[in-house]
Amino acid sequence: QVQLQESGPGLVKPSETLSLTCTVSGGSINSDTYYWGWIRQPPGKGLEWIGNIFYSGSTFYNPSLKSRVTISIDTSKTQFSLKLGSVTAADTAVYYCASGLFDSKRTWGQGTLVTVSS
């Protein structure tokens, strides 16, 4: 049973880069079936898809965030990561990593709150 755990700073200054890592345990990150993804949820609001990455390194991003987002994968560390640049208060959210099919995610991390504030 795959388990996911997000890690990274809980506070980021405006205009800086948000960086989070998701550590995969209990399963292979080299799956040729599943995608690894990031989804966020601003406080009191709905879910927003950020992007997916395949074990090969192929990435797919939300067009509204594409210019600021980079998702990468390190199969040797069984981790995948999110970088979001030029953050503003609007990027304050709970960030989830998740795994599953491209469009549906069966396994989720517990989520981590990232606050953008000076």
Q: How far is the CB of 43 from another protein (least distance, A)?
A: 11
Specify the residue, 19 or 107, whose C-beta has the smaller distance to another protein: 107
Specify the residue, 62 or 78, whose C-beta has the smaller distance to another protein: 62
For residue 79 the two structure tokens come to: 């981790």
Query: DSSP states of 100-112 as a string?
Result: ESSS-EEEE---E
47 binds another protein (CB under 8 A): yes
Q: How far is the CB of 58 from another protein (least distance, A)?
A: 11
64 binds another protein (CB under 8 A): yes
Cα(81)–Cα(8) distance, integer angstroms: 10
Site for another protein in 87-116 (CB under 8 A): 96, 100-106, 108-111
Query: DSSP states of 45-99 as a string?
Result: S--EEEEEE-TT--EEE-TTTTTTEEEEEETTTTEEEEEE-S--GGG-EEEEEEE
List residues near another protein by CB under 8 A.
Answer: 37, 39, 46-49, 52, 60-64, 96, 100-106, 108-111
